[in-house]
Chain A
Amino acid sequence: MAHAQLSPRTIPDRLQGRSARLLKSWEALLVVVATAIFLGNSLASPYFLDPWNLSDATFNFTEKAMIAFAMALVIISGEIDLSVASIIALASTAMGYAVQLGLDTPALVAIGLGVGLVCGAVNGLLITGLGLPSIVVTIGTMSLFRGLSFIVLGDQAFTGYPESFAWFGQGYVWWVFSFEFTLFVLLAVIYGVLLHKTNFGRAVYAIGNNQTAALFSGVRVARVKFALFLMTGLMAGLASICLTSRLGSTRPSIALGWELEVVTMVVLGGVNILGGSGTIPGVVLAALIMGMVTFGFGLLNVPGIVMSIFIGLLLISVIALPILWQRARRRLSQ
């Protein structure tokens, strides 16, 4: 008996230092991939290293990445939100409609964000309130939200956005740094802190690893999940403002298929599709990689369909490689 008192041996906090952990991380691999693509692009095209060209290239990923940050949290918590692209369409349609009524930029921004929040709340209520699986709910709302845009717009387009509204998608904060890119950096920091430095972020990981145990441990699971779906809705609203402003028009097919690109970005960033693990720095790196690949291929006049083939192959290979590597190591050690 009395084991408890006899031998209070000290267990160290960590076995590996910070640098050792970083070197073995998924993010380290992504840095290598990103560097390789950067170098490859620089060699392949003389136009790649031009600051303004690079700045233009960031528009390839900034809007998707905004959503990807919120989506990363949703996927880490073990859920998914496939309605984000349709929320972009619905928010954009609402803003376009408001323009026809003569509303100005501040009202448009409020409407864009508001529609995003409402859509997120609808998802969140169906998922946490009724306990429905998020993949089913958001496939449903994916059709619903875009369907509403089609009803309003038909084959028409809303245009005539006020000039001041153009700044969100076309304006620059300083030198080559666009508003969108600045927002991307800011959101990366905010989401990084939220996920990695707060109690909320810890709750997200706990839910993703074991929802029942998290509930028993006093995590307010429903509340956290509801907040996460509000966040993806809000981010989709924000992306809708940027995209609509950049394009200067709204069609019901706006941002069609983006939900898959956003999920791809998140998974490429090392977030486990089954939930429980992943980091924001990983998602940032994945966004940069996808942006550079698209841009590099654009410079080389590679058609869009080849780009999506490449992104698909990249996704499968970065996921398969570590698994194959581990298997090979296990076989060697046997």
Chain B
Amino acid sequence: MKPAIALEGISKSFPGVRALSEVSLTLYPGSVTALIGENGAGKSTLVKILTGIYQPDSGVIRVGETETAFPTALSAARAGVTAIHQETVLFDELSVAENIFLGHAPRNRFGLIDWKKLNADAAALLNRAGADFDPTIRLRDLGIARKHLVAIARALSVDARVVIMDEPTAALSHKEIHELYALIERLKADGKAILFISHKFDEIFRIADRYTVFRDGTMVGEGVIADVRQDDLVRMMVGRSVDSVYPKKEVGIGEPVLTVSGYRHPTEFEDINFELRRGEILGFYGLVGAGRSEFMQSLIGITRPSAGAIRLDGEVLVIRSPAEAIRAGIVYVPEERGRQGAIIGMPIFQNVTLPSLSHTSRTGFLRLANEFALAREYTSRLDLRAASLDQDVGTLSGGNQQKVVIAKWLATKPKVIILDEPTKGIDIGSKAAVHAFMSELAAQGLSVIMVSSEIPEIMGMSDRVIVMREGRIAGRFERSELTAEKLVRAAAGIEAQPEGRAA
């Protein structure tokens, strides 16, 4: 069988990070290839290269027999590569038909859009995609599943030969997933080559014909699904020794500091119970969307739980706002650094001191000398690289911004610090500094909760790990019994671990 598209020896680097090195990927017509890998393995980078958003530093892209390049997203689309993303990139205010034909709408003889033909063609495409709704309704009136169908109809309209589906089932219900499977079968029958990205093994074994596994930006395996077992795939995904690179210190773990019982929320999470002890790093692992961030934000009063209680040092606490959480000594370093963490446009020192102003000021009046002193103390402990403390935090690199954000929270002298994906998207050097510092904090008696989707980080840094899946605790593991396989199984719901095991 001739490949529809083949990538050979593709490498791509970003400042400080080698995202892909010498990877290959081959997609065949009429066949579904699953791309498997942890977060950060390089899957998204590859998709962006395939769709012309990124340019590879080296390597070859072949479409059919000919060697080619995708210098723009448009050139990739012209070559018949189309992608359906987790969050669909469509236009809410336009009609379904307009979305399907955006950029290549049929014209009449005056050069204007031929609306009759547009809507008729759209209806035909929707029909092929297994959708039966009116193409003239506005996209915003559709649910997420139907938006996916529109995206698929759009893929059909450009006569794609390669269809990329990036976690297409993440937002779908059980029934909708089965409709999607049926649609994928139809696309296969049409001879499309499909790249299917998913974390869920049951889906991969249900729908894929071939697999390719990425780890740390390299390709570690490929083949036919029928010849492989789930365990083999899991091992390929995570197989490496990780403990050595992480500066985890052995710390005597003390008495319980934070006790969470019966936390629940109508839509995001349910039945969360755990204890956090002094000097402990408690890892929270799970797939994206497992409800970890939502739960953590309820601990600091951003979202309200519908039931549940927390105790800090034995005292029952009700936290209604982040200000109260900070006063109580619980702080949260958010995942979305640019939106929730750093205040771009303000100087470094003002970012650091914002939650601590009541300590640096006197009766509500600022004391700049105190602020500079506090900012200097904590930024230098994190080894911040900056020209001056009154520099706009927006001029720093991602890693250094993250150091400022962490410094901001530490300066409040908390009892419990919650770090949500603390090293996501930052360079290796800053990552090491954050890990070293986290370890140092625990050694000094701080209690740390670390939410992470990176297995090496979870395994390297945690004393205990709680795995969440679909808003519930799906597994609890002590450091001694941690294996990557167990984590992946619990997070993906393979042979679900009984709740409360070895807690």
Contact = CB atoms under 8 A, between A and B. Distances in A.
Interface of A: 1-15, 197-202, 205-206, 209-210, 212-220, 276-277
Interface residues of B, number: 51
Interface in B8-57: none
A13 B372 contact: yes
7 contacts: A11-B389, A13-B389, A14-B388, A202-B354, A210-B342, A215-B322, A220-B321
Nearest to B323: A218
Contacts of A217: 322, 343, 354-355, 408
Interface in B378-401: 379-384, 386-391
Contact of A7 (B340, B354, B383): B383
A206 B354 contact: yes
Nearest to B349: A13
Interface stretch (B101-109, B177-185, B194-202, B356-364): B356-364
Contact of B384 (A1, A11, A14, A218): A11
A239 to B, nearest CB: 26
B17 to A, nearest CB: 17
Interface stretch (B86-94, B134-142, B433-441): B433-441
B436 A3 contact: yes
A210 B343 contact: yes
Contacts of A3: 383, 429, 432-433, 436
B317 interface: no
B445 to A, nearest CB: 17
A276 B345 contact: yes
B144 interface: no
Contacts of A1: 247, 432, 435-436
B120 to A, nearest CB: 40
Contacts of B433: 3-4
A197 B366 contact: yes
Contacts of A218: 321-323, 325-327, 354-355
B334 interface: yes
Contacts of B432: 1, 3
Interface in B325-371: 325-327, 332, 334, 339-346, 349-350, 354-355, 357-358, 361, 364-366
A198 B334 contact: no
Contacts of B436: 1-4
A199 B364 contact: yes
A219 B391 CA distance: 22
B302 interface: yes
B379 A11 contact: yes
Given A4-B437, A199-B366, A214 B354 contact: yes
B376 interface: yes
B337 to A, nearest CB: 9
A11 B302 contact: no
Nearest to B337: A213
Interface centre among A7, A214, A217 (most CB of B within 10 A): A217
Contact of A15 (B339, B344, B388, B408): B388
A216 B340 contact: yes
Given A218-B326, A220-B321, A15 B387 contact: yes
Interface in B411-439: 429, 432-433, 435-437
B281 to A, nearest CB: 15
B346 A209 contact: yes
A199 B381 contact: no
B314 to A, nearest CB: 24
A208 to B, nearest CB: 8
Contacts of A2: 247, 436
A199 B371 CA distance: 12
B354 A11 contact: no
B442 to A, nearest CB: 13
A12 B347 CA distance: 13
Contact of B364 (A8, A198, A276): A198
B380 A213 contact: no
A55 B343 CA distance: 43
A56 B361 CA distance: 41
Contacts of B380: 8-11
A223 to B, nearest CB: 9
Given A206-B350, A218-B321, 16 more contacts: A2-B436, A3-B432, A3-B433, A8-B380, A13-B372, A15-B387, A15-B388, A202-B354, A202-B357, A206-B343, A206-B354, A209-B345, A210-B344, A212-B339, A213-B342, A217-B408
A3 B340 CA distance: 26
Contact of B390 (A14, A198, A216): A14
A217 B342 CA distance: 10
Contact of A216 (B332, B345, B358, B361): B332
A6 B433 CA distance: 11
A284 to B, nearest CB: 20
Contacts of B358: 199
A201 B357 CA distance: 11
Contacts of B355: 217-218
Contacts of B300: 216
A269 B350 CA distance: 23
4 nearest A-B pairs in the assembled complex, by CB-CB distance? A1-B247, A209-B345, A218-B323, A218-B326
A216 B322 contact: yes
B345 A277 contact: yes
A200 B366 CA distance: 9
Contact of A198 (B323, B345, B365, B372): B365
Given A1-B432, A216-B334, A202 B344 contact: no
Contacts of A12: 387-389
Nearest to A6: B383
A9 B332 CA distance: 27
A213 B340 contact: yes
Nearest to A201: B366
Contact of A206 (B346, B376, B384, B386): B346
